[in-house]
Structures are given as structure tokens and as C-alpha cells.
Structure 1
């Protein structure tokens, strides 16, 4: 349903068509309830002259709002694990304007996770639950474009956690800075740590959520300096950054350290 809906929303559809495409998924809801719920869950909808559009298909990419996200997790399998730290940087008009950073309560932190991140159970025992942090993150994220290095992992992992916590779906448009960097930055490798060093970016703590989110933000903004001239809208940028292979689905521990 969503793939077909997104394709049509780029061109604009009537309220009736929007409702017909979504009513089975949101059984029992009327048009207004579905529209409001999907906006709350992050789909950037707007209504113009009685038609429903994706905002990202209309606004220039340099005027769009982005949230650059990084996760630390205790298990890369969403069903078995949870987020233990979320870091994010909000970008407006291609300028970082706000940050989000929270540790999350958890009781099962494998030794290899502590070795890589420095996060242990003692650090997390008095933190808020994943559900409470995800509620805060939903408000911070809004309907901005979700950006991450290995975006499919971070995005899909969080989407599963929202479902596990009965907090609804995650519908934000999203893009991967690995693919974007490969198409716009000359480098031998595209792991986050390598890009930070090769681009002489400011030092941040590796494998901590906010530090990696800040580095990803700098890589993202650097990549935008080298876009082809035909990239006009935010949706153009999202499509340009689509991976050809499964590089953005790699486990985080494999994509961030190279």
C-alpha cells in the first residue's frame, strides 16, 4: 500500500483516492483521522487546492527539514534487541539547529557492545524506558526526512521498536548517507570513521550516538555541496540517494567502523 501511495502522492491525488488507498490499512478510520495519523507518524503530507501531496516532492532540498540519526543497540536483531542510545541532529535550511541525545534503560548489554560503545548496564539502570524516549523522539523527528549512515538499519530498527512499544508506525521519508557519499565524495572507503578522517572533520566520540550523528551530519552537508544540478526537490534528493545494492542494510557494526 505505502509504495503505491508514495508514488501517487508525488504527483498529487484527490482526497477520495487518498482515502481509498489507505482505508483498508486503517480500517474504521475516516479520511481526516487517517490523514492526521499518517502526518503524526511522520509522512510529510500537505493539502493544496483539494489535492494531497508529499511535501518533499514540492519543496527545494535546501529548504527541507532533516533529522540525522544514529543508534546504539544491544542486539542488531530488532525482535531481540532494543535501542540503548539515540542521538540526532536537526537540520533546517542546511544548518544544524538542534540536537537530541538520550541513553535508554536496558538490562542486557553484551560485553562486546560495552567494549565498542563504552555503554554498560550500570550507566543505563536509572534511565527512562525505550517507550518514553521513543515518545520524545517522535516529537523531535516530526515529519522531517530521516537521515542516517546505513539508513535502512537505523530506520527499520526504530520502526520495529515503535511497533513493539505500541507507538504506531514510522512513516518518515529517509535517505542513506553511505549511498549519497558514494555518489558525491571521492574516497577509498565510505565507513563513517574513514570519511571523518579523510575529510578532516572535527573529532567526535566514535560509536556513541550523538557523536556519530554529528559526524554523519557533516558528511551529509559535505555531500550536498556536490549534487548534480538536476537535484531540485527534497524528493529528488531522496531518490538520488537510493542504494543500488544492500549497502545501507548492513549491520551497524560493519558499516560504521571502516
Structure 2
């Protein structure tokens, strides 16, 4: 039942975004549609500034409200490439590190990196990331870290390798702290890589090797840098019709995949 309600919320928000992507709405229509989709979050949808605070950048022009990412050129858009390390799943774990870089016009314009306090780090996570419980002593609380990260993220497009995990984990963590979820537009570098890089697999380690990216693996800031390099590589491979961030998101989800088929290995046994 809980999953069904969560899916219904996602569907309402997705439908709201799809409507905005097509064309700006009159202010009255916008307020009505936004109210039906987002009224349960308890904020005044008639105040455009409230959407900015939640990460969704809108514009208001001549009595109409539209999605900024549907009109802005790619070079003028900020992209925030994010990675997190956690102690487990979203149900049982907690964020222990956040790393992010902000890109605009192909250039890095900012960075964010912090450990996050947790009382204990499971040995398997320490083995994977190198992060120990001792390293987190004196680190910012989850509430403080997420507040600072949200301020850094602003209205940028949220980018990550397997974006549903990072975006979903951060949003769920915010809600658990009594804060609203992220409303930022999002882009997955796994999906983008499938449309711009020929490969059998699209794990971060595989793509790093293909693109010659050499840095620490399974640390948030380093992995954010790696995902940022994949994003910039994808920019170079886009078709002519991709002009805006919304075009880019659509391309990453709908363009034909370049994934290579695994070659069948046959063993010939001579009798």
C-alpha cells in the first residue's frame, strides 16, 4: 500500500513535468495542475519562488509559467554531478559521504565534498570504500550535510551514475528529516552512456577504463568526477536536435542503445 502511494506521487509529479515540458501554462492553469500534483507537500504552488527552493527552476513570462530547462541552451545550464557512499540500502542504511561537482558550459564551476556522521560503518562498507567509523567522528550530521548539499545543488540538473539510487536516497533522507524531497530535473549517466558509448557493460569501473579516467573508486567525490567526465564525453556525441537540457534528458531515455551484444563463446571439443 505504501509503495502504491509512493508510485502515485511519482506519477503525479511526472505528469506535471510532462505537461510543462510541452508548453508554458497560463498562471491559472499552472496553479490548478500544480495543486493537484503537489498539493500534498504543503506549500503554496502559486508562489514560483517555492519551486526554486525545492530545486525546480520555472520562469514566468506574460502571464505564463514554464520549465526553464525546456528553453535554456545546454551551455547555459548548470549540471550538478553527484555521488554518495552509504552504509547500506535506503531502507537500512545511511549516507556517510557526499561528493559533487557543478559543471556549466563544459567547465567545472564548483565542488562539494563532505563525510557524514554515522555511529557505525559495517566492515563490508569499510572494505569497499575505505571509510571507517573513526573517520566519521566529528563529521557533520546528516541534517547539516543535506542542508549544505541542497544549497550547493540549487536548481541545477541532478546528474549521477544510476541517478535513481543517489537522487532517491537523498530525497528519502530529506523526507525522513521532515524536509521536502528534491524536485530537481535529473539525468542518468548510465542512460546517457548507453546512447553515446559502445560497450558491453556500463558500470562506472568499465566506463572509466574505456575513457581513460584514473582516480579512486568508491569514494564519493572521485566517483562524481568520473561521472562528470562521462557526461562531458556524452555532450560531444549528441545529435543536432539536442539543444536544451530537456532534449538531453529525452535523448538519454529514448535514443537507440549502442550496447554491444556479448559474443557467444563456443567450445569445440574434438572427439
TM-score w.r.t. the length of structure 2 is 0.85
Q: Which runs of 5+ in 1 are unaligned?
A: 245-258
Distance 2:161 2:183 in 1: 18
- Name the larger-Rg structure: 2
Matches within 5 A, 1:142-221: 142-201=154-213, 203-221=214-232
Number of positions where the alignment pairs a residue of Structure 1 with one of Structure 2? 241
Q: Give the deviation of 1:2 after TM superposition.
A: 1.2
Q: Which runs of 4+ in 1 moved over 6 A?
A: none
TM-score w.r.t. the length of structure 1 is 0.89
Distance 2:194 2:206 in 1: 13
Partner of 1:231: 242
Q: Deviations for 1:92-141, whole angstroms, at most 9, x for unmatched residues? A: 11211111000000013111100000011111021110100000011100
Of 108, 114, 121, 1:102 maps to 114
Of 56, 64, 87, 1:74 maps to 87
Structure ranking higher on relative contact order (CA contacts 8 Å, 6+ apart): 1
Q: Give the deviation of 1:62 after TM superposition.
A: 2.4
Q: Which runs of 5+ in 2 are unaligned?
A: 1-11, 256-271
Partner of 2:266: none
Is the 2:44–2:50 Cα contact (8 Å) retained in structure 1? Answer: no
CA gap of 1:31–1:110, structure 2 versus 1, over 3 A, is closer
Of 134, 140, 146, 1:122 maps to 134
Distance 1:6 1:188 in 2: 33
CA RMSD of aligned residues (A): 1.6
